[in-house]
C-alpha cells in the first residue's frame, strides 16, 4: 500500500480494469459533465506545460482516461502539425491543444488544429479576439479559455467559450493574483452555462472532490504530471521537484513599477536571484539615462528567453526556469501517469465513501 494513500476498504477500492479504475456512482455523477465535455473517462485534464506537454505525456494522460493537452508555446505551425500527428499515432483518445493568444501565427495554428481534427482548443494568455473564437468554433472544435476573474468569466461565456478553466495563483507557470479557493467561491456558483474546470495547487483526489461538490466540472493538474514517468522533463528537473517544499515555489518578483514583470511561479534558484539583480541594474541604468525605457523593458522581458527549455530539456535547474506550483511539496516520487490518476481517484472515492477526512493521511 503506498504510504500516502488512505487505507481503503473493499467497498471503496476502485475496481481496476483494462481502461483504468471504474468510478463509483457518486464520483461518476460528480464527473459526468466534465467527462462528457472532454469525451474522456475521467474529468482530469493535464494542464499544458511548454516543453513538457508533448506527444509522450499527452498521449499517456489520454490513454489513462484523462485529457492530455499539447502545449504549443512558441512552436511554428509546421512543428505543431508534426506534434499533433505524433500524438495521434500514440493515442486514439481525445486530447487538446493549448495556443497562446499572442502567438504571431495564431490563425495558422488554429487552422492546423482544425485540419488535424483536434476536438478541443485551449486559448491561453489573455482574452482571445472574436476572430480567433469564431475560427475555432466554425472549424468544429470546442473552445476552452482561462478565466482569472468573474467579470472575465462572464465575458468569455458571452464571447463563445464552451468551457472555462479557473487557475489559482498556487499554480506553476504564469499566474494571476488570486488563489483557487477564492476564484472557486467567486466563479463556480455564478457560471453554470458552461463546464468550469479548476486548476492550481491540486494534488489529491479528496481536495478535488470538494471542488466538484462546489460545482466544478473537473480538475486540471500540471506540476504533478510534469514529474511522472512519461514526462520527458530531464531527471534533474524531476529530482528538483521531489526535493522541494511548497514554499520553494515562488512567483517572480517585480522590482520597479515602471517595468512590469508577469509573475511566473517556479522554484527559487540562482537564475531567479540573478533576475532580481538584472532588474535592479536595468532600473539603475534607466535612471542614469544609459538606456531607454523600451530597451530596459525588453531587456527584462528577454531575461528568461529559452530558460524553461534549459531547465526542462537540458536539466539546468540552477540557471533555467524551473516552473512549478505550490503542490510541488506534495510530489515525492516518479510514478506512471496511470498510477497517478488511479491514486487521485482512490483518494476521491475514499472521501466520498464517507470516511472522515481526519483519517486520510
**Residues of the shown chain interacting with ligand FMN in the complex, contacts defined by CB under 6 A:** 47-50, 52, 71, 73, 98, 124, 167, 170-173, 199-202, 220-224, 226, 323-325, 327
Nearer to ligand FMN, 24 or 231 (CB): 231
| Shortest CB 76 distance to ligand FMN, Å | 15
| Shortest CB 291 distance to ligand FMN, Å | 30
| Shortest CB 311 distance to ligand FMN, Å | 8
* Residue, CB closest to ligand FMN: 222
Count of helix runs (H) and strand runs (E) in the chain: 14, 13
| Shortest CB 128 distance to ligand FMN, Å | 13
Q: Within 13 Å of residue 130, how many CA atoms lie on the same side as its CB?
A: 3
| Shortest CB 53 distance to ligand FMN, Å | 7
| Shortest CB 9 distance to ligand FMN, Å | 29
Quickly list H helices, the chain: 25-38, 55-63, 77-90, 106-115, 130-138, 150-159, 180-187, 205-213, 223-226, 235-242, 270-287, 293-302, 307-312, 337-352
| Shortest CB 60 distance to ligand FMN, Å | 16
Nearer to ligand FMN, 77 or 172 (CB): 172
The per-residue DSSP string of 282-347 comes to HHHHHHTTSS-HHHHHHHHHHTTTTHHHHHHTS--TTTS--B--GGGGG--S---HHHHHHHHHHH
Residues 332-360: b if buried by 16+ CB within 10 A, e if exposed: eebbebbebbbbbbbbbbbbbeebeeeeb
| Shortest CB 97 distance to ligand FMN, Å | 11
Query: At 318, phi and psi to the nearest 5?
Result: -90, -45
| Shortest CB 208 distance to ligand FMN, Å | 11
Q: Within 13 Å of residue 203, how many CA atoms lie on the same side as its CB?
A: 22
Evaluate whether 209 touches 34 at the Cβ level (below 8 Å).
Answer: no
Nearer to ligand FMN, 12 or 184 (CB): 184
Nearer to ligand FMN, 83 or 170 (CB): 170
Distance in Å from the first CA to the final CA of the chain: 13
258 Cβ partners below 8 Å, 6+ apart?
283, 286, 293
Nearer to ligand FMN, 122 or 300 (CB): 122
Residue 321's nearest CA partner among 50, 71, 135 is 50
Nearer to ligand FMN, 76 or 255 (CB): 76
Nearer to ligand FMN, 77 or 222 (CB): 222
Dig out the grid coordinates for 120 from the structure. 478541443
Residues 100 and 74: their CA atoms lie apart, in Å, by: 8
Evaluate whether 312 touches 320 at the Cβ level (below 8 Å).
Answer: yes
* Beta partners for residue 325, in sequence order: none
Nearer to ligand FMN, 148 or 215 (CB): 148
Nearer to ligand FMN, 63 or 327 (CB): 327
Amino acid at each position: 500500500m503506498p504510504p500516502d494513500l488512505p487505507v481503503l476498504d473493499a467497498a471503496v477500492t476502485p475496481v481496476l480494469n483494462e481502461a483504468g479504475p471504474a468510478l463509483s456512482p457518486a464520483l461518476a455523477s460528480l464527473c459526468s459533465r466534465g467527462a462528457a465535455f472532454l469525451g474522456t473517462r475521467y474529468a482530469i485534464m493535464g494542464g499544458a506545460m511548454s516543453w513538457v506537454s508533448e506527444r509522450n505525456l499527452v498521449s499517456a494522460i489520454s490513454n489513462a482516461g484523462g485529457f492530455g493537452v499539447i502545449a504549443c508555446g512558441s512552436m511554428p505551425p509546421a512543428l505543431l502539425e508534426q506534434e499533433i500527428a505524433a500524438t495521434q499515432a500514440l493515442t486514439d483518445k481525445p486530447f487538446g491543444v493549448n495556443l497562446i493568444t499572442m502567438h504571431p501565427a495564431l490563425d495558422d495554428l488554429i487552422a492546423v488544429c482544425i485540419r488535424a481534427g483536434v476536438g478541443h482548443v485551449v486559448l491561453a494568455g489573455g482574452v482571445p479576439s472574436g476572430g480567433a473564437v469564431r475560427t475555432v468554433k466554425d472549424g468544429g472544435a470546442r473552445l476552452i479559455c482561462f478565466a482569472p476573474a468573474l467579470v472575465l468569466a462572464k465575458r468569455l461565456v458571452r464571447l463563445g467559450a464552451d468551457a472555462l478553466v479557473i487557475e489559482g495563483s498556487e499554480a506553476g507557470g504564469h499566474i494571476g493574483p488570486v488563489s483557487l479557493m477564492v476564484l472557486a467561491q467567486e466563479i463556480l456558483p455564478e457560471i453554470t452555462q458552461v463546464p468550469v474546470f479548476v486548476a492550481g495547487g491540486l494534488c489529491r483526489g479528496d481536495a478535488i472532490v470538494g471542488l466538484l461538490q462546489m460545482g466544478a466540472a473537473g480538475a486540471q493538474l500540471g506540476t504533478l504530471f510534469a514529474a511522472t514517468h512519461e514526462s520527458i522533463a530531464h531527471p534533474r528537473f524531476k529530482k528538483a521537484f521531489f526535493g522541494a517544499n511548497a514554499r520553494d515555489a515562488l512567483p517572480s518578483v517585480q522590482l520597479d513599477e515602471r517595468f512590469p514583470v508577469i509573475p511566473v511561479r517556479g522554484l527559487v534558484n540562482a537564475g531567479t536571484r540573478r533576475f532580481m539583480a538584472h532588474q535592479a541594474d536595468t532600473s539603475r541604468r534607466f535612471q542614469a539615462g544609459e538606456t531607454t525605457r523600451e530597451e530596459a523593458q525588453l531587456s527584462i522581458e528577454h531575461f528568461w528567453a529559452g530558460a524553461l527549455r534549459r531547465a526542462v530539456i537540458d536539466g539546468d535547474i540552477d540557471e533555467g526556469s524551473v516552473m512549478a506550483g505550490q503542490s510541488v511539496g506534495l510530489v515525492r516520487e516518479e510514478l506512471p501517469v496511470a498510477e497517478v490518476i488511479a491514486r487521485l481517484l482512490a483518494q476521491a472515492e475514499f472521501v466520498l465513501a464517507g470516511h472522515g477526512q481526519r483519517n486520510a493521511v
